[in-house]
């Protein structure tokens, strides 16, 4: 699923589609569950947006620690603004 998140733009609609896929898989695996959010928190499966942002943060942190990529990172940040 995380590879899919990287391949598509992270819009609200795409996040909902991926969340529904995860919820459907959990429903098929564990059957009828009153609270899927509790099940997801119990097994440590965060929301797609949270997982994506965490992965993106680790990626940027890796760049910050390497001086060779400073100009590339600076260009990326300036393009975000």
What is the residue-averaged pLDDT of the chain? 80
Residues 9-39: tens digit of each pLDDT: 778 888 888 888 888 888 888 887 778 888 8
In whole angstroms, what is the distance from residue 56 CA to residue 6 CA?
A: 10
Q: What is the pLDDT of residue 59?
A: 79
Against a cut of 0.85, is the pTM above it? no
Residues 26, 36 contacting (CB under 8 angstroms): yes
């Amino acid at each position: 699923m995380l590879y899919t998140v990287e391949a598509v733009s992270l819009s609200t609609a795409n996040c909902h589609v991926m969340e529904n896929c995860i919820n459907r898989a959990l429903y098929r695996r564990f059957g009828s569950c009153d609270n899927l959010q509790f099940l997801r928190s119990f097994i440590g499966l965060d929301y797609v947006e949270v997982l994506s942002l965490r992965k993106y943060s680790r990626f940027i942190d890796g760049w910050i620690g390497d001086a060779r990529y400073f100009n590339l990172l600076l260009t990326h940040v300036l393009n975000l603004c």
